[in-house]
Structure 1
């Protein structure tokens, strides 16, 4: 039994006429009649009572019609879903990132994408950068947003948006009133830092301090950038943070930009090569977003 048998059967049932059904199907009547006879032979019972004047469904035919309509409807739905997924209109997009990156443009970008592609469900996974890379390679996630990505020939990275690094200070710090701060002027300060063992971005900031002429005196380490502000507010040290952290209103903490050339906190979007239509649609939307600037491939 093939789908055409069901379509021909429904057409005859709806028209109550082989002649009218054949006309609607744009085929001649003899092949249509033969297809219905083949269907009845396979089902094992008559589906139509035929006379010289009309065609009527048997009791078995009426019951079969209900199932035939349901099957054809499911097939049509499956076709529409496949087409929608193939064009990127529906599906699921798994995005891995860190909490601090979500403080930047990513949240608004996701909201705009959902507005343009309401059939795509976006699921966010918060995890450290190394776990993000593993999830991306194993196809558990589709996109990753990180700072300072590791070069991996199996992945493609683009700059999603640019950020600079600033400094978070206790509100009564002697440099709290400065418009900008030279990184080298922090050489005698205690620092609270991202955990060096887990973060390439933290190691980059450490190297920037060394390039400025000092090794930072780190008193405490944390996993997320926004956690640093609690330690700064308690007076445990100063912190080098992405500029998005300055959007957090934290009593007892002030944020000041670093003098140029300031360290960079650029965020990269990472994907597998040859992304599927849903991923490609998100990347295309991101490239057209006014508050980011996805640049050329960087790795």
Structure 2
């Protein structure tokens, strides 16, 4: 038994005419009759009563019609689901990032994507940067949003959005009233820093200090950039932070942009080259979203 047998049967059951059913199906009547005969032979029962004046369903035909309709409905639903999955419209998407990245436009992107593609469940996981790279390789996540530099060559990488680096210091600091602060001006300061063992971005900031002529005197290290503000407010040092952190208010501290040339905190999207249709759909939406942002 094949699906065409069911479709031919349903057409005749609804039209109660082999001639009308053949016209509806776009086939000639003799092959249609042959297919129904084959179906009845396989089922070992008669589905239609035929004579020169009319076609009627037998009791077996009435019962078979109910099941045939249900089977064809399930086939159509399965086809629609498969098509939607192939277009990336159904599924689960696991994103990994850090709290400071979520201070930028990522949350807005996720909200827009969820509105446009509501059948995809987006799950956000916060984890340290190096753990995100490991999770990508292990296929525990689909896309990672990280600040550069990126140290893996087998993952696809593209810019999500550009961001600058600034310095957070107490309001009472001597440089707080300066119109411009250069990285080299901070050579004698005590720093609170992102944890170097967890973040290539933290190591990049340290290397930028070295290039500016000094090794930073680091008193404390934390995982998240926004935690640095509390340490600065407590007087434990100053901090180099992504620009997005300035959106967080904290009494007693001030954010100052660094003079050029200055470190950058650009956010990159990382993903496996052999990604799924859902990931492909999200990346397309992300590129459109970030292009719109850059055009504003």
* TM-score normalised by length of structure 1: 0.90
Aligned to 1:53: 53
CA contact (8 A) 1:193 1:218 kept: yes
CA contact (8 A) 1:170 1:238 kept: yes
Aligned to 1:272: 272
CA contact (8 A) 1:162 1:292 kept: no
**Partner Cα separation in structure 2 for residue 126 and residue 109 of structure 1:** 16
Is there any run of 5+ residues in structure 1 with no aligned partner, and where?
294-299
1:28 pairs with 2:65: no
1:137 pairs with 2:137: yes
**Partner Cα separation in structure 2 for residue 60 and residue 170 of structure 1:** 86
The total of aligned residue pairs comes to: 293
4+ runs deviating over 6 angstroms: none
* TM-score normalised by length of structure 2: 0.91
**Partner Cα separation in structure 2 for residue 169 and residue 74 of structure 1:** 64
CA contact (8 A) 1:160 1:292 kept: no
1:252: how far off? Answer: 2.6
1:89: how far off? Answer: 3.4
CA contact (8 A) 2:149 2:204 kept: no
CA contact (8 A) 1:286 1:292 kept: no
Aligned to 1:291: 293
Is there any run of 5+ residues in structure 2 with no aligned partner, and where?
none
1:178: how far off? Answer: 2.6
1:235 pairs with 2:230: no
For structure 1, which segment, 90-99 or 229-238, has the greater mean C-alpha deviation from structure 2 after superposition?
90-99
CA contact (8 A) 2:136 2:272 kept: yes
Deviation track 1:216-257 (CA, whole Å, cap 9, x = no partner) reads 222211111111112122222211100000111222321111
1:264: how far off? Answer: 0.8
For structure 1, which segment, 9-18 or 32-41, has the greater mean C-alpha deviation from structure 2 after superposition?
32-41
Aligned to 1:297: none
> Aligned runs of 1:99-138 on 2, under 5 Å?
99-138=99-138
Aligned to 1:70: 70
Closer, same or farther in 2 for the Cα pair 1:59/1:252, shift >3 Å? farther
CA contact (8 A) 2:96 2:144 kept: yes
Aligned to 1:261: 261
1:83 pairs with 2:88: no
1:7: how far off? Answer: 0.7
CA contact (8 A) 1:49 1:57 kept: yes
